Amino acid sequence: MIEIENFGEVRQIRLASECDRNPLYWVSAYLVDGLLIDTGCARTSNEFSKFLEDAKVDIVVNTHSHEDHIGANHLIQENFGWPVYASASAIPRIQNPPPIAWYREKTWGSAAPSNPKPLPSIIETKKFRFEVIDTPGHSPDHVSLVERTQGWVFSGDLFIGKDLTVAGPEMNVSGMLESMRTLLALMDDESILFTSLRTVRYDGRKALHDFVDRFEELRAQAREFVAEGLNVREIVNRMFGGETVFDAITNGEYSSANLVRLFLQD
């Protein structure tokens, strides 16, 4: 399933695999002035590749190595020969994707190996200049792209939403908050946040600032509860009203308990 929406000169390509004609989980790629940011998942790669036949692309960038962001890399390299770039730490995982859990296989599919080049610190298109910013936290190899004159911030999966209540195996809370602070220093009140979900936030700086404040409050709250003698399950119940459905679906890989543990480790 594919949907297209334009935000000025930025084209958002929303991609999702389907079950009974219903989207399972949306992920967004972006096309702006010949720069393609992310390539979706394997299950949408054929549809995405067909869409790209009429697109003008000069360079492709992966924000990180997760399968829902590199899924069409191999078809892009085979069918079009466009250069693909990723952070140096992401390249080994893109060249040799690790096994993924069953629910990720069902939702996104396993990405075929592809061969990106190391990202430079600056990407210049015909009209724009994008700074490549290391933003670990969601994953260790994550980067964001910033075009300061336009106020554009392409944040990949760094910002998923203010109400995030679960953590996965690669998440690092301190790293995520520090990366958000790095982006905040490059943004003003007019900055637009282009996320890898369906979300485009015209209040991008406020969205990141609110997230940082909320997570700092949650971290302090978790520490207060453990000082009172509560265990992780009790803290989850007090802070979030219990576990989310993701805990059962992912066999505990994504859970509120993981998030609480990260708060306490940090």
Q: Where are the domains of the chain?
A: 1-121, 128-149+160-188+203-266
Determine the average pLDDT of the residues in 23-46.
Answer: 94
Q: What is the pLDDT of residue 4?
A: 95
Determine the average pLDDT of the residues in 22-33.
Answer: 91
Q: What is the pLDDT of residue 176?
A: 95
Q: What is the pLDDT of residue 3?
A: 94
The residues near 263 (Cβ < 8 Å, ≥ 6 apart) are 173, 218, 219, 222, 223
Distance CA 117, CA 87 (A): 8
Determine the average pLDDT of the residues in 95-119.
Answer: 94
> What percentage of residues in the chain have a pLDDT greater than 90?
88
Q: What is the pLDDT of residue 25?
A: 85
In 3D, which of 167, 168, 164 has the Cα closest to residue 195?
164
Q: What is the pLDDT of residue 18?
A: 81
Residue type, 144: S
Q: Is 184 exposed, middle or buried (0-12, 13-18, 19+ CB in 10 A)?
A: middle
Please determine, for residue 17, whether its predicted confidence score (pLDDT) is greater than 90.
no
**Can you name the CATH fold of 1-121?**
Metallo-beta-lactamase; Chain A (3.60.15)
Please determine, for residue 22, whether its predicted confidence score (pLDDT) is greater than 90.
no
Lowest mean pLDDT among 108-112, 129-133, 161-165: 161-165
C-alpha torsion angle, residues 87, 167, 196, 211 (rounded to 10): -100
Q: What is the pLDDT of residue 266?
A: 66
Q: What is the pLDDT of residue 21?
A: 78
C-alpha torsion angle, residues 197, 202, 204, 205 (rounded to 10): -170
How many C-beta neighbours within 10 Å does residue 124 have? 12
Determine the average pLDDT of the residues in 231-238.
Answer: 96
Could you tell me how many residues make up the chain? 266
Distance CA 251, CA 83 (A): 37
The structure's pTM equals: 0.94
- Report residue 160's pLDDT band, with 50, 70 and 90 as the boundaries: confident
Contact, 146 vs 183, CB < 8 A?
yes
Cα 262 to the center of its chain, rounded Å: 19
In tens, the pLDDT along 198-229 reads 899 999 999 999 999 999 999 999 999 999 99
Please determine, for residue 195, whether its predicted confidence score (pLDDT) is greater than 90.
yes
Structure token pair of residue 222: 């978790």
- Three-state SS for 6? strand
Please determine, for residue 191, whether its predicted confidence score (pLDDT) is greater than 70.
yes
Distance CA 3, CA 11 (A): 10
Q: Is 211 exposed, middle or buried (0-12, 13-18, 19+ CB in 10 A)?
A: buried
Cα 50 to the center of its chain, rounded Å: 23
- Three-state SS for 172? coil
| Summary mean pLDDT of the chain | 94
